[in-house]
Structure 1
């Protein structure tokens, strides 16, 4: 049976891509080159989920600790029942990793990313009141609650992006220990490499090229054999820089966010 040993479940725009890369440096840990495979939300049937994981982990050696990173797994209410499906698939032995960050900073990063992709063309103040997901995905206690309920709090490791950024090696070692690998075998990490930072994000305007890069063929056949440094260097050289986005928040906006986030403490407990 081919299933993951651990999952990085979020949060969106909270450093999961960097953690995906850092964990992939460990010789005993396997993560597919494709981040965000979203297996548990793309398929309703557990047999299909297992088949997809078989493809994702096809390049892993025997005995490796296998995992994947999909922030869709903590995107309630868009995707519900994901933790329950994960338990049914894995038998409850999964280890979970969840990264939090300052909730307002995550909202701003989420909006900037979506605006640059053309999905939230409205000004930030209007978007906050138009797209509930902007704030919902920062309701961290509410988002992670199903995972704690299904697997138990001991199997869920929550880390702060701010701590991760300030103490990168120490934080990754904690994650490595949590998922069952030896932290002593983790090589030194390059603190200068931060994936998907705002100044590095670039949108592929060409529809055909964008479809190719997002395709299953590219993600699972091409991407694994092209070094990440080469992919990123090519991206910086070929694509134009992302447009500037006004992310100014008024006092009224901050108060609105605070009111919405306050519901997190009520619904999560």
Structure 2
């Protein structure tokens, strides 16, 4: 594997159904993507390029090759690292209403036992930059970092809300960007890969079992494992996003959403409960 053999990256945003995009592409035998997320250009860059290239072993000459790591968008070191190794790669980013994205990210860490139940403190806009939940939705600077390094036609910007409305059309945009033939729209599944409404192992037990998770992963499909998990799962009760907290988040994101709209030539005011949205940037 060489750098020039890696054709594309899905770079984020987190909690914007990028895993759905990955699964939809992996259903095509002409696409090769490793699992799980590599996070090479963000969290594990010290492992070196040789390690990164080994993750693509097994791909065929007739496949286009890429990977998905949602941390590549909000990590400030990732854009320069990506461009240095993969200046030719096509990039795909899927964005989501930043308020909903922040709440979804919070819910994910809450059910893992990694975020507390005081949602007002966790999503406190007074903390400003530095808070994971808030920073993940500050898309303007994140996209600018890539557009400063890549031609606009190498970066495809998509929206989570459009995926929900018409998954077939969303996937067709991605496939066209990557130079793939159009897929049969009947084969596109709108079901999200991860859904916070599904019953899960309780957050306390998830936290206690966290250290052994890598050890049991190979047995997740074993009938005994499946049976045991069914006895432990239940519906998670998430702290609610109050109207007052939502209003503070809207105020927090409004300047960034306006700048993002100017950057990508899109009306994004619908995200914050105002006018509709349309885009000409693809």
- How does the TM-score come out when normalised to structure 2? 0.77
Aligned equivalent of 1:119, options 109, 114, 120: 114
Shift in Å at residue 44 of structure 1? 3.8
- Structure 2 gaps of 5+ residues are 264-282
Per-residue Cα deviation, 1:191-250 (whole angstroms, up to 9, x for no partner): 253201112374545234313367xxx6xxx99xx8xxx9xx789747513521112223
Aligned equivalent of 1:245, options 238, 246, 252: 238
Shift in alpha-carbon separation, 1:190–1:202, aligned structure 2, 3 A: farther
Per-residue Cα deviation, 1:134-172 (whole angstroms, up to 9, x for no partner): 121111222222112111221111111111111111110
CA contact (8 A) 2:199 2:236 kept: no
Count of aligned pairs between the two proteins = 248
Corresponding residue number in structure 1 for 2:30: 28
Task: Determine if the alignment matches structure 1 residue 39 to structure 2 residue 40.
Answer: yes
Corresponding residue number in structure 1 for 2:173: 174
Tell me how far apart the structure 1 counterparts of residues 173 and 90 of structure 2 sit (CA, whole Å): 13
CA RMSD of superposed structures (Å): 2.9
Shift in Å at residue 128 of structure 1? 1.0
Corresponding residue number in structure 2 for 1:148: 147
Corresponding residue number in structure 1 for 2:278: none
- Larger relative contact order (C-alpha < 8 A, sep ≥ 6)? 1
Corresponding residue number in structure 1 for 2:72: 73
Structure (1 or 2) with the larger CA radius of gyration: 2
Task: Determine if the alignment matches structure 1 residue 85 to structure 2 residue 81.
Answer: yes
Tell me how far apart the structure 2 counterparts of residues 201 and 57 of structure 1 sit (CA, whole Å): 34
Per-residue Cα deviation, 1:14-51 (whole angstroms, up to 9, x for no partner): 101111100111221111131x2101123445xx4432
Tell me how far apart the structure 2 counterparts of residues 139 and 249 of structure 1 sit (CA, whole Å): 21
Shift in alpha-carbon separation, 1:135–1:176, aligned structure 2, 3 A: same
Write out the 4+ residue segments of structure 1 that deviate beyond 4 Å after TM superposition.
233-236, 265-269
Shift in Å at residue 262 of structure 1? 3.4
- Structure 1 gaps of 5+ residues are none
